[in-house]
Chain A
């Protein structure tokens, strides 16, 4: 069953940038693309650099697809699918995310 977990206030998000949330012991990077009013949630762990840093990457788009660039070695990850642009065999987890009454919520499946 899908359960929505409260993360933070919408005001805690950084426009066109990321923050990291701790949900059930998992580190999840949350990004806010201001022009699209879109928010995305993916794993914070960088599978290349092996460190919890993706939330601190720069975001934008590549060919129209929203992406984050790892701050360590600059690989790009699709914010919608988690797939790495440079190596499609590498994928980070993505999470359902929404805003409710000014709060950001992430879905966990239990």
Chain B
């Protein structure tokens, strides 16, 4: 007999999914048979970061559903099917595709829809909204034949949408009905500053504009007419004029609905029917709709608790937000408009730096009620904690927004926060939760993120999370040892700086001055790599030889049986028939196993150390040079065939790949570097999975950085768009040398980026805006490396004394008898242990 109750969830958006996840993690998950309806063709995805879709993230990247989630938790999902009616009396849900499902408990998570003002012409072609991935696809398609785009609505989402239009290369306008931007969150001063900053970025802002008609344009597709008689021509109109709760299904079934919409709920998120809950943007609590994701998540948790008969209630939510709109920092906290009786206001405005800050405090100046920050939101976390925790303000509250003219810090130390203080509002992680995780051994920000989920939503609390971590570690007396090894009390970065500043050229000099002992494989390789990056001397020079791991020492890759593989450089994957034949001939002559690599070159396996010089002198004669497959250095620049041959190619990807590979070949780095160039957005070279990826567009080259395949794939970040070749190369030079200088040992660019404070924006500020004033130096260093390039194999072959080392024995010309091959699929492979035994027996017999 099935004793399980039936729980039906209508809507698989962010809040619906969060509810399912909270339920799956709770103790009551086995008490319910769960069924959910999802009207969209895909399960829940991250609408908060929807604009990332335009900077290269795919629908899959945005997905919020872990692989196998529905199957593993026995949840039935009806994808692409919309629930259309509820029969409360008989507890039934009906779907558009004709399903009838009974329920014991029903959760409505139907979300909201974009409000489109009923202006004549609002339903014309290319009048779009910004809510779903399908909407974004429609916007992208429309933008292809458009020059100008207008966003109707200057709120938070409207400005996000404007950013999207700008990213698509359109001349962008924002039309706002209210006299200022972000009227809900900002006061007049903050709105004005935001307007100025956004206009500086090339987006035109029209406030106090009431659209009265959209009709045919003279030069563009549409002409918008405003109540004041003015007109604006545009090809696309994007409505982002607020949201409305999707309450139609509740309304039709007779649930209580607010006078202006929204499904009325109580503190347990129950609707007027005791078996039906409503959560997220469709729900109306105390006359309010909460259009942020965090309150929706709180509602979801409340319902799970209520189903489990635990006490929990939703009692409103803090609507403070901090975000970056079109690159401008904007934050709003609490009572930003000073509506609290007796509230006092402090305002700070720096016209030159375009910063606006406003504090709203209680009548006695003891409590922070609200704040507005535009242009500089660094103080957000501190102010929010004052506001949420009722922490008493300093004697002069304005010190919190005045620029500090001394080193004295006015910030609220993480120590001052109570354990109950919320650090992450997206996932409701308190300071207590963070401290508990630290005690359990999470001593890095990534480890804390994994353990607590803090900072994995909007990411706004990352600096606060880090400062709590640092403070707790200091208090616990835990020193995070970042020394590279026992021989140097320094990080890799420190050592790099010592090498630069003191012009140290050898390991022994560095060890004498700054280290102890005899070194080890960790510091030797790290220092070897640093010296090679900075001075770019021949790696087998006598004083560097002992720093190279076996791969670098023998300029080949050691395989499991002690033999080596050989990879000649094939720039951009371009290989002439003669070169191809030559490599085949070498492989044949030495009996090597041959395989094509993922980086579009040829790997020759099974070479004994004594065979390497012979193999290489023949390869060099054929025109090959070292592929540096053995080094922590640039490997390959993969490319698709590009516009030269491809019907769809926009630009010559092979030509650029060859140029980049020749430019950066031989560059030693903290870890290997892979690049790729695609000739169009079909992305056949998979550039977005590489450390450096380049994709041709109509407007030039798009540069992606810090991607990775392998064990932990990372989608590369879009760094800059529509670059000409010179700028592209300049940026790559700077990114690479900055990576070489600042990464930890054996840290790929992807992890380097994940750990970088300030992340992509910081890297952009260093590389594009030259925030640190080092770009010149970075370029100079890259030029030095390029100018001092040598093919290490050519140098080695030409030096008799170096070749002496390429023997298995120092006192005999015999070879290693432990190396035994057998044949498989027409080529050699190392014999396994069983086969070795058999061969031995045969020989002895």
Q: Is B810 an interface residue (CB 8 A)?
A: yes
Query: Which of chain A's residues have a CB closer than 8 A to the CB of B839?
Result: none
Query: Which of chain A's residues have a CB closer than 8 A to the CB of B520?
Result: 58, 60-62, 67, 69
- Closest Cβ of chain A to B837, distance in Å, is 13
Query: Which of chain A's residues have a CB closer than 8 A to the CB of B809?
Result: 20-22, 27
Given contacts A52-B818, A60-B518, A62-B520, contact A14 B545 (CB under 8 A): yes
Contact with B along A5-16 (1 / 0, CB 8 A): 001100010111
Query: Which of chain B's residues have a CB closer than 8 A to the CB of A36?
Result: 518
Provide the bound-state CA to CA distance between A75 and B76, in Å: 50
Query: Which of chain A's residues have a CB closer than 8 A to the CB of B549?
Result: 58, 71
**CB-contacts of A7-58 with B (<8 A):** 7-8, 12, 14-17, 19-22, 27, 30, 33, 35-36, 45, 49-53, 56-58
Query: Which of chain B's residues have a CB closer than 8 A to the CB of A102?
Result: none
- Closest Cβ of chain A to B654, distance in Å, is 36
Choose among B517, B545, B812 the residue that contacts A17 (Cβ–Cβ < 8 A).
Answer: B545
Query: Which of chain B's residues have a CB closer than 8 A to the CB of A62?
Result: 486, 520
- Closest Cβ of chain B to A59, distance in Å, is 7
Q: Is B562 an interface residue (CB 8 A)?
A: yes
Closest residue of chain B to A9, judged by CB?
B810
Interchain CB contact under 8 A, A22 and B814? yes
Interchain CB contact under 8 A, A71 and B519? no
Provide the bound-state CA to CA distance between A45 and B521, in Å: 19
Q: Is B354 an interface residue (CB 8 A)?
A: no
Interchain CB contact under 8 A, B810 and A61? no
Contact with A along B382-403 (1 / 0, CB 8 A): 0000000000000000000000
Given contacts A53-B558, A61-B518, A61-B520, contact A71 B550 (CB under 8 A): yes
Interchain CB contact under 8 A, A59 and B546? yes
Provide the bound-state CA to CA distance between A89 and B103, in Å: 64
Provide the bound-state CA to CA distance between A35 and B281, in Å: 72
Query: Which of chain A's residues have a CB closer than 8 A to the CB of B196?
Result: none
- Closest Cβ of chain B to A80, distance in Å, is 13
Q: Is A72 an interface residue (CB 8 A)?
A: yes
Max chain B C-beta neighbours (<10 A), residue from A33, A35, A67: A35
Query: Which of chain B's residues have a CB closer than 8 A to the CB of A27?
Result: 809, 816
Interchain CB contact under 8 A, B558 and A22? no
Query: Which of chain B's residues have a CB closer than 8 A to the CB of A52?
Result: 562, 808, 816, 818
Provide the bound-state CA to CA distance between A12 and B518, in Å: 21
Closest residue of chain A to B520, judged by CB?
A60
Q: Is B36 an interface residue (CB 8 A)?
A: no
Provide the bound-state CA to CA distance between A72 and B521, in Å: 12
Closest residue of chain B to A53, judged by CB?
B562
Q: Give the interface size bracket for A toward B.
A: 35 or more
Max chain A C-beta neighbours (<10 A), residue from B519, B551, B809: B809
- Closest Cβ of chain A to B450, distance in Å, is 26
Provide the bound-state CA to CA distance between A49 and B558, in Å: 12
Query: Which of chain A's residues have a CB closer than 8 A to the CB of B561?
Result: 51
Interchain CB contact under 8 A, B558 and A30? no
Query: Which of chain A's residues have a CB closer than 8 A to the CB of B122?
Result: none
Contact with A along B792-811 (1 / 0, CB 8 A): 00000000000011001111
Interchain CB contact under 8 A, A58 and B811? no
Interchain CB contact under 8 A, B521 and A57? yes
Q: Is B542 an interface residue (CB 8 A)?
A: yes
Given contacts A8-B811, A64-B517, A71-B549, contact A14 B558 (CB under 8 A): no
Majority secondary structure, A binding face: strand
Max chain B C-beta neighbours (<10 A), residue from A7, A30, A52, A67: A52
Contact with A along B545-576 (1 / 0, CB 8 A): 11111110110001011100000000000000
**CB-contacts of B788-845 with A (<8 A):** 804-805, 808-812, 814, 816, 818, 833
Q: Is B626 an interface residue (CB 8 A)?
A: no
Q: Is B324 an interface residue (CB 8 A)?
A: no
Q: Is B633 an interface residue (CB 8 A)?
A: no
Closest residue of chain A to B809, judged by CB?
A22
Query: Which of chain B's residues have a CB closer than 8 A to the CB of A49?
Result: 560, 562
Query: Which of chain B's residues have a CB closer than 8 A to the CB of A56?
Result: 550, 553-554, 558
- Closest Cβ of chain B to A46, distance in Å, is 8
- Closest Cβ of chain B to A53, distance in Å, is 5
Given contacts A27-B816, A56-B554, A58-B549, contact A33 B521 (CB under 8 A): no
**CB-contacts of A61-78 with B (<8 A):** 61-64, 66-67, 69, 71-72, 74
Interchain CB contact under 8 A, B518 and A14? no
Interchain CB contact under 8 A, A12 and B558? no
Provide the bound-state CA to CA distance between A36 and B518, in Å: 9
Interchain CB contact under 8 A, B812 and A58? no
Provide the bound-state CA to CA distance between A27 and B818, in Å: 10
Contact with A along B711-752 (1 / 0, CB 8 A): 000000000000000000000000000000000000000000
- Closest Cβ of chain A to B550, distance in Å, is 4
Q: Is B17 an interface residue (CB 8 A)?
A: no
Given contacts A51-B562, A60-B521, A72-B558, contact A20 B487 (CB under 8 A): no
Given contacts A49-B560, A51-B818, A53-B558, contact A60 B545 (CB under 8 A): no
Given contacts A14-B546, A52-B562, A52-B818, contact A58 B521 (CB under 8 A): yes
Query: Which of chain B's residues have a CB closer than 8 A to the CB of A33?
Result: 518
Interchain CB contact under 8 A, B518 and A8? no
Provide the bound-state CA to CA distance between A20 and B810, in Å: 6
Given contacts A61-B518, A64-B517, contact A53 B550 (CB under 8 A): yes
Choose among B517, B548, B554, B558 the residue that contacts A61 (Cβ–Cβ < 8 A).
Answer: B517
**CB-contacts of B596-650 with A (<8 A):** none
Query: Which of chain A's residues have a CB closer than 8 A to the CB of B525?
Result: 58
Interchain CB contact under 8 A, B560 and A51? yes
Interchain CB contact under 8 A, A58 and B524? yes
- Closest Cβ of chain A to B405, distance in Å, is 50
Query: Which of chain B's residues have a CB closer than 8 A to the CB of A66?
Result: 518
Closest residue of chain B to A14, judged by CB?
B545
Choose among B545, B550, B808 the residue that contacts A57 (Cβ–Cβ < 8 A).
Answer: B550
Provide the bound-state CA to CA distance between A75 and B833, in Å: 21
Provide the bound-state CA to CA distance between A22 and B520, in Å: 26
Provide the bound-state CA to CA distance between A60 and B550, in Å: 15
Closest residue of chain B to A13, judged by CB?
B810
Closest residue of chain A to B524, judged by CB?
A58
Interchain CB contact under 8 A, A60 and B517? yes
Closest residue of chain A to B542, judged by CB?
A15
Provide the bound-state CA to CA distance between A71 and B556, in Å: 13
Instruction: Provide a sorted-by-A list of 29 A–B residue pairs whose CB atoms are within 8 angstroms.
Output: A7-B811, A8-B811, A12-B810, A14-B546, A15-B546, A16-B519, A16-B545, A16-B546, A17-B546, A20-B808, A21-B811, A22-B814, A51-B562, A52-B562, A53-B558, A57-B550, A58-B521, A60-B517, A60-B519, A60-B520, A60-B524, A61-B517, A61-B519, A67-B520, A71-B550, A72-B558, A72-B560, A72-B562, A74-B521
Other than the known A57-B521, A58-B546, A60-B487, what 16 A-B pairs have Cβ atoms closer than 8 Å? A7-B810, A19-B805, A21-B810, A22-B814, A27-B816, A33-B518, A35-B508, A35-B518, A50-B833, A52-B562, A53-B550, A56-B550, A56-B553, A58-B549, A60-B518, A64-B517
Residues of A within 8 A of B (CB): 7-8, 12, 14-17, 19-22, 27, 30, 33, 35-36, 45, 49-53, 56-64, 66-67, 69, 71-72, 74
Q: Which 8 A-B pairs give the minimum distances between C-beta atoms? A: A16-B546, A51-B562, A71-B550, A58-B521, A69-B521, A60-B520, A60-B519, A19-B810
